Amino acid sequence: MNNLFRLFGLIALIGIVFANGNIVVGQSAVTSDFAKSSLSIQTAKSSHKFTIEIATTERQQRQGLMFRRRLAADAGMLFIYSASQVLTMWMKNTYLPLDMLFIASDGRIVRIVQRTVPGSLQTISSGEAAIAVLELNGGTASRLKIKRGDTVMHSAFGSDKQ
């Protein structure tokens, strides 16, 4: 019986996978290398700079911020798509509440969904054509007074000013 418990313990130990610096139990996380960049968001009264990871491939976009346990206050992930379209996201295997900023091809924020629910399978839609989604820590849009119509400054939107 004691050997049986050791065997189960070993199996459980083998099930631990390291993903992006976090321990994931019982999941096989896909790891992708993300390009790093920075962007700024121009609001009515100020500009806010973020250090971001960029998800451009289908594999990176599927993984996104899944399995992450923390995200710096000035960090985020920018999902860039090849064409402007109604975009949909979800929070499967995402442990952090996030703000999702849907962005048009000119860098204008067309929709903000604040404080998404970790782990939810509910579809989160841009509601109109967008070419990118910026995920930030939940509450960031409210804290920094980021609103629909504000502008994201990044080369993906034809603007390198940050």
- The answer to whether residues 127 and 49 belong to one domain is yes
Is residue 162 domain-resident? Answer: no
- The answer to whether residues 120 and 64 belong to one domain is yes
- The answer to whether residues 87 and 106 belong to one domain is yes
- The answer to whether residues 26 and 38 belong to one domain is no
- The answer to whether residues 25 and 38 belong to one domain is no
- The answer to whether residues 83 and 149 belong to one domain is yes
Which residue did the predictor score with more confidence, 68 or 11?
Answer: 68
What band does 5 get if pLDDT is binned at 50, 70 and 90? very low
**Number of separate domains in the chain:** 2
Predicted local confidence at residue 159, as pLDDT = 77
What band does 54 get if pLDDT is binned at 50, 70 and 90? very high
Q: What is the pTM of this model?
A: 0.80
- The answer to whether residues 26 and 88 belong to one domain is no
Predicted local confidence at residue 33, as pLDDT = 86
Query: How much is the average pLDDT of 47-58?
Result: 95
- The answer to whether residues 39 and 14 belong to one domain is no
What band does 145 get if pLDDT is binned at 50, 70 and 90? very high
What DSSP letter does each residue of the chain carry, written as one string? -HHHHHHHHHHHHHTEEEETTEEEES--------EEEEEEEE-SS-EEEEEEEEE-SHHHHHHTTTT-----TTEEEEEEEEEEEEEEE--TT--S-EEEEEE-TTSBEEEEE-SPPTT----EEEEEEEEEEEEEETTHHHHTT--TT-EEESGGGT----
Query: How much is the average pLDDT of 116-121?
Result: 96
Check which CATH number belongs to the domain holding 127 and give it: 2.60.120.1140
- The answer to whether residues 60 and 107 belong to one domain is yes
Domain range for 9: 1-31
